[in-house]
Amino acid sequence: MIVDQLRAIVGEAHALTGDAIEPRYLTDAAGGRSGKPALLVRPADTAQLADVVANCARAGRAIAIQGGRTGMCHGATPQDDEIILSLERLNRIEGIDAKAGTMIVGAGVILQSAQEAAAEAGWRLAVDIGARGSCTIGGMIATNAGGHQVMRQGMMRDQVLGLEVVLADGTVLSSMNQMLKNNAGYDLKHLFIGSEGTLGIVTRAVLRLRPPAIGRQTALCGLLDYDAVIAMLNRVGRALPGQVSAFELMWRDFFEAAGAIAAGGMPFAVSYDYQILIEVEAADDAPFVGILSELLDAGIVADAIIAQSDREVAQLWSLRDAIGPLVGSMTIVEPFDVSAPIARIGPLVTHLRAALLDAIPRCRPYFFGHIADGNLHLALDLPTDADRTVAEALVYNAVRDAAGSVSAEHGIGLLKRGWLGHSRTVEEIALMRTLRRTMDPAGVLNPGRVVETLTPGR
């Protein structure tokens, strides 16, 4: 019956069942684990979407909300009997205010389309992640996506001025604020940013735009110890405030593997325990070159290559981006995305490498990260699937002991729910559950994601 109701709302062509549901709707970037969904619906607009949700709430039917399905934690992966709700048709760029630097977009707009539209209007949408060609603005808001530019421009949360959200009972909540400052009561948008669709479905957004880059300098530096990494971060942050746009740390294990497969090959004659790929946005490169030579003179940086052309910039970035092919070559990959206070990350990695090799002798760990944000990535190549359990416990226990987070960027979804208590207190999780229960008493929105729901939809 619910199938007929929803079909009547969105039309035959956009209410699909069984084999008519293409495989791409059945998983996310983490792969696997799909159940058998009851239905796929693709509403044309907010009104249809709200109607779909209201009907699901009345029928007590669980919804799996989908943007671009580029998540890493099975948040969008449909489970048995769930109704897939795809936002792909809410893909209109409604307008850009070139005076104020704001844009209004539907949740289904692809990041790259939004970036290009902003650029055409003389502005920049300052979040960027590898999945830009397929991830959606709505999904990025729901998961508070991060990426390369966070240290300078913040996460997705910092790009959102206003939202339109469909609540669990089908109510359309319009909170399309366009101002940087609005202290008129609670700032409700923050409830929906990063809560992975469990408190409401983002359907439209007002985004803040930033001016385009006025120039860019890129360098690769080799450093001998982690204290030098912190010293360099603080020195460039102070000398070039608001201008450092990337500060990517690659530990030796990652860097040597990357150098072996990257287009540009290995740039240094030797490799160092720490490599930093740094990018600065400034009109003039003299201050950046000055700081680098000062850091070399002080012995903080042992070696440095400043890119002299777009080709050299691409070569340096190909090392960092080698994570793609590197992961592709692995037997069994466990991609960790954690964070910790910056000063603790160096010792954490040293400990983890030793502990992992001790517990799983044939594993191969590769460490890298957006270190200015306290964000550590570990791509772990495992000999057998059974090693996952050992590795996860080992990594997440160490992260907990370092007062870190088991999820820096990727969210919790279904995959990391068991580890939430490692980074959040009992009281925090209790309050998350209270909010979840209050705002979605029937448990229809992405049930089981983030925190378990006590009254899940059928």
Query: Per CB under 8 A, which of residues 32..91 are in contact with a second copy?
Result: none
Q: Is 151 in the site for a second copy (CB under 8 A)?
A: yes
Q: What residues contact residue 154 under an 8 Å CB cut-off, 6+ apart?
A: none
Contact 394/336 with Cβ under 8 angstroms? no
* CB of residue 39 to a second copy, shortest distance in Å: 27
Contact 42/51 with Cβ under 8 angstroms? no
Span from 129-137, 174-182, 248-256, 328-336 in contact with a second copy (CB under 8 A): 174-182
Contact 399/338 with Cβ under 8 angstroms? yes
Q: Is 445 in the site for a second copy (CB under 8 A)?
A: no
Nearer to a second copy, 89 or 417 (CB): 417
Q: Is 293 in the site for a second copy (CB under 8 A)?
A: no
Q: Is 181 in the site for a second copy (CB under 8 A)?
A: yes
Contact 408/376 with Cβ under 8 angstroms? yes
Q: Tokens for 161?
A: 């001025």
Selected from 195, 271, 315, 453, the binder of a second copy by CB under 8 A is: 195
Contact 194/407 with Cβ under 8 angstroms? no
Span from 28-36, 109-117, 311-319, 409-417 in contact with a second copy (CB under 8 A): 409-417
95 secondary structure, DSSP code? E
Q: Tokens for 3?
A: 């199938």
Q: Is 405 in the site for a second copy (CB under 8 A)?
A: yes
From the list 37, 43, 45, 35, the residue with the least C-alpha distance to 20 is: 37
Q: Is 261 in the site for a second copy (CB under 8 A)?
A: no
**Number of shown-chain residues binding a second copy (CB under 8 A):** 91
Span from 10-18, 103-111, 129-137, 186-194 in contact with a second copy (CB under 8 A): 186-194
246 secondary structure, DSSP code? E
- CA dist 364 and 382 (Å) reads 7
Angle at alpha carbon of residue 46, lines to 43 and 47, rounded to 5°: 90
Selected from 85, 90, 160, 173, the binder of a second copy by CB under 8 A is: 173
Q: Is 281 in the site for a second copy (CB under 8 A)?
A: yes
Contact 28/71 with Cβ under 8 angstroms? yes
Q: Is 150 in the site for a second copy (CB under 8 A)?
A: yes
Q: Is 99 in the site for a second copy (CB under 8 A)?
A: yes
Residue with tokens 């992961």, as numbered in its chain = 327
Selected from 61, 69, 132, 370, the binder of a second copy by CB under 8 A is: 370
Span from 53-61, 264-272, 312-320, 333-341 in contact with a second copy (CB under 8 A): 333-341
Query: Per CB under 8 A, which of residues 421..440 are in contact with a second copy?
Result: 423-425, 427-429, 431-432, 434-435, 438-439
174 secondary structure, DSSP code? E
Selected from 100, 121, 261, 333, the binder of a second copy by CB under 8 A is: 100
Q: Is 287 in the site for a second copy (CB under 8 A)?
A: yes
